Structure 1
Amino acid sequence: MKHLFILISAFILIASSCKKTEKHTVETKYISFKNTLDINRVDESIILTRDKIISILDSIPNNRVPILKDSSGKIIPFQLDDLEKNGSWDEFSLVLDFTPNQTLKLELTTIPTESIPSFTPRTNIRFGIGTNKSNVKEVLEQKRIGDPRANDSIFYQMEGPAWENDKVGFRFYFDPRNGIDIFGKTTSELILDRVGLGEANYHELDDWGMDILKVGNSLGAGALAIKYKDSLIRITGKDQAEFKVITEGPIRSVFEIMYKNSKIGDQTIDIVHRITICKGQWGYQSDVFFSGVTDDMKLVSGIVNLKPNKPYSKTLKNYYTLETFGPQSENNDALGMAIIVSKENFINKGEAPQEKEDIIQTYYTVMNASNKKPTTFYFLSGWEQSDEQFKTYTGFEKMINNMTERLSNPILIQ
């Protein structure tokens, strides 16, 4: 019996050693994210490509998805985006907070697809269409030719698609005006699904905020035009415009407005305006794709100049900013607006006439337009009712400077 006990004990010891050895062969994978700036970075938007994740994990098993965990084992909120619309996700998006010069080391692993947690929505796209307020339904795609305002049987909930995050909202006039308006928010909740449907008037201050911008015949809050020779030509989409949601989720939402056969001089061009809004940002990103542009065509975007304001412009790091600030909201209180564009794409700035032209009362930036790659710019808005920092230009400028610093120094991913 003594010999049997020794043999059994030896077997248990060997088996235990094998298990330990087996465990140690499973290597834990990590990704490090480094903030190279001596500033706090809150809600920093980060994109990981599928190829980047596979390069670390070696492969992603079928019916499983990648996740990132912090040091406590908590899953970082994320979303998987199929931007190419080929049935398989191609980008993993998330937001992270950093203290000055901080490096975050997160565990990268996978979980079954059916086990993806539910995260609090922080971005939203809404395009409600019906014949009147009582029968509106949300659409993910919509085409138009001509001016839909001439058709009494079509009702657009907010005159076109709208988008928001936990800070601010915007809306697009889906007609030949093609302007962009701002919804100032006083809540972090997503509210656009109900705006414009009840008795309340969104041009008046409500429990969530209000429409804070009068656009008129300007470019509003970042709408597009083409500078051709000495003329500003509005992109109207009269010949064909199409709205399409690309992705929508807790971290970011993306949609496109496609303009076919836009007449510029004696030529026609196609334009795709891709808009992205991310959690925690005071604005949105524009990526503008062209087909058919020539060397004498340049991209223009602008800021409305209808109410008392002071314009500012400067170059900071790798970016140029065009800004306005003053009591220019529809609530007659402080509102700052800004366009940020890379020095590589910026050409010059200008101011549209006050009257007698198609595009008026607009401060604008002139940017490169290329058939080879998109032109990217950012539109930011700071309303004093949303955050007290925007009661003064100093507070608004601080946010703009922080944004340009972050754009100039992206998070290092290792």
Structure 2
Amino acid sequence: MNSTKSIIAITTLFTLVSCNSSKVTTNQNEKQKTYAEISVKEGGKWNGKKYEGGTFKNINQLQVPENHTDHSFYIRYEGPGWESNKIGYRLYLDWRNAIDIFGKLTDEMVLPKVGQDGFDSYHNMDEWGADILKVGKGLGIGSIGRMVNNEMNHFKEVDATFTKVENFNNKSVVSIDYTGWKTNEQKTNLKSELSIFPDERYTKHTIQLSEALNGICTGIVNLYNLPMIQKGNDSNKWAYIATYGKQTLFDDNLGMAIFYEVIDAEKVYQGPHDHLIQFKPTTQPIDFYFLGAWDKEVGGITTEKEFFEYLDTLLNKLNTTNKLN
């Protein structure tokens, strides 16, 4: 371990703040429509890269332990989750750094009970829904990676990762700070903010890097070889890429899309595992939106035609107002 990483680990180890306070002041008669959380094990112990024993407790902030990796059994459903009354998402808070989709069969908030009865029980369809997206080696939807020599670099070397969740009346937010993300012998700090809104499927993702690196990408995983539909050109402020079809773990129809500002994009192309948007090198904030639309959602979109009509409505709003929320 290098000295920088040692100092960071020692000074920030296990910054856990309990969730006994909330910024949500919604009237009790008003139905909750967004929610974000992160939940970790307490009362057990680490055995190498695995956490044994203990029970899950929701917290507001987390400094990720240095020995945490995929399938450490420490973080409930492996990272922070956020949802609206339409759909849910989670981010693997480890080297994969991919975003997954929870398809919902209800408009209630479901994340507090996901993964409580077994570490990966959410892969099985339940009364609330299930994890419906297979990520594999890809980015999932709307997460960040760096393409170097036609290889997607995930987050295998990071000095420290810190995350917090916040719930407000009009949105729920997951913030993540990555310190010292190393790719191609270069390091950067990356700030990521993911916001979800009532009655909406989309997440607004804002990223900012401390170094202007080439190859920074977001994308849509392409395990089922579905065609990518791209709409928008140089005369538009915004554009989107999207896929639609049977691309879930349950052979259901799912639409996925990413809206991006044309001026931010260097190129759009097919990577080894994903349909990709590569951003121009910059240290300025970049905003984009991503969404999933599952055909089993309550009152949801059930045809390809409906899906693209929905996307076009959002695109028109973006090109008119430059924002969705």
TM range (shorter): 0.7 to 0.9
1:250 aligns to 2:169 (yes or no): yes
Native 8 Å contact 1:179 1:220 kept in 2: yes
**Alignment partners' CA distance in 2, 1:408 and 1:261:** 35
Query: Compared with structure 1, are the counterparts of its residues 149 and 286 closer, same or farther at alpha carbon in structure 2 (3 Å cutoff)?
Result: same
2:282 is matched with which residue: 370, 374, 380?
370
Q: Which amino acid aligns with 2:219?
A: G
1:268, CA displacement in angstroms?
1.0
Native 8 Å contact 2:106 2:298 kept in 1: no
Native 8 Å contact 1:224 1:235 kept in 2: no
Which consecutive residues of structure 2, in runs of 5 or more, have no partner in the other structure? 1-22, 45-51
Native 8 Å contact 1:382 1:390 kept in 2: yes
1:310, CA displacement in angstroms?
2.7
1:273 is matched with which residue: 192, 195, 202?
192
1:396 is matched with which residue: 289, 307, 311?
307
Native 8 Å contact 1:284 1:379 kept in 2: yes
Residue in structure 1 matched with residue 39 of structure 2 by the alignment: 128
Q: Which amino acid aligns with 1:394?
A: K
Q: Which amino acid aligns with 1:254?
A: V
Native 8 Å contact 1:144 1:242 kept in 2: yes
CA deviation profile, 1:250-291 (whole Å, cap 9, x unmatched): 320112111111113232111011111111111201000110
Residue in structure 2 matched with residue 140 of structure 1 by the alignment: 60
Normalised by the size of structure 2, how large is the TM-score?
0.81
**Alignment partners' CA distance in 2, 1:145 and 1:265:** 24
2:83 is matched with which residue: 145, 164, 168?
164
2:110 is matched with which residue: 184, 191, 197?
191
Normalised by the size of structure 1, how large is the TM-score?
0.64
Q: Which amino acid aligns with 1:270?
A: N
Residue in structure 1 matched with residue 250 of structure 2 by the alignment: 331
Query: Compared with structure 1, are the counterparts of its residues 400 and 147 closer, same or farther at alpha carbon in structure 2 (3 Å cutoff)?
Result: farther
Q: Say which SS state the counterpart of residue 214 (structure 1) adopts.
A: coil
**Alignment partners' CA distance in 1, 2:84 and 2:300:** 19
User: Identity percentage over the alignment?
Assistant: 26
Residue in structure 1 matched with residue 216 of structure 2 by the alignment: 299
1:312 aligns to 2:229 (yes or no): yes
- 1:23-102 aligned at under 5 Å gives the runs none
**Alignment partners' CA distance in 2, 1:237 and 1:406:** 39
Q: Which amino acid aligns with 2:158?
A: K
Native 8 Å contact 2:157 2:183 kept in 1: no
**Alignment partners' CA distance in 2, 1:222 and 1:236:** 18
Which consecutive residues of structure 1, in runs of 5 or more, have no partner in the other structure? 1-88, 94-114, 354-360
RMSD across aligned positions (CA): 2.7
Q: Which amino acid aligns with 2:160?
A: Q
Q: Say which SS state the counterpart of residue 175 (structure 1) adopts.
A: coil
Q: Which amino acid aligns with 1:125?
A: A
1:141, CA displacement in angstroms?
1.1
Query: Compared with structure 1, are the counterparts of its residues 122 and 149 closer, same or farther at alpha carbon in structure 2 (3 Å cutoff)?
Result: same
Query: Compared with structure 1, are the counterparts of its residues 350 and 387 closer, same or farther at alpha carbon in structure 2 (3 Å cutoff)?
Result: farther
Q: Say which SS state the counterpart of residue 202 (structure 1) adopts.
A: helix
1:235 aligns to 2:155 (yes or no): yes
Native 8 Å contact 2:26 2:32 kept in 1: no
1:261 aligns to 2:172 (yes or no): no
Residue in structure 2 matched with residue 406 of structure 1 by the alignment: 317
**Alignment partners' CA distance in 2, 1:312 and 1:225:** 21
1:324, CA displacement in angstroms?
0.8
CA deviation profile, 1:326-351 (whole Å, cap 9, x unmatched): 11111101001011101111221122
Aligned length: 288
**Alignment partners' CA distance in 2, 1:293 and 1:123:** 33
**Alignment partners' CA distance in 2, 1:319 and 1:171:** 25
Residue in structure 1 matched with residue 141 of structure 2 by the alignment: 221
**Alignment partners' CA distance in 2, 1:184 and 1:250:** 23
**Alignment partners' CA distance in 2, 1:204 and 1:116:** 32
Native 8 Å contact 1:262 1:270 kept in 2: yes
Native 8 Å contact 2:35 2:172 kept in 1: yes
Q: Which amino acid aligns with 1:306?
A: L
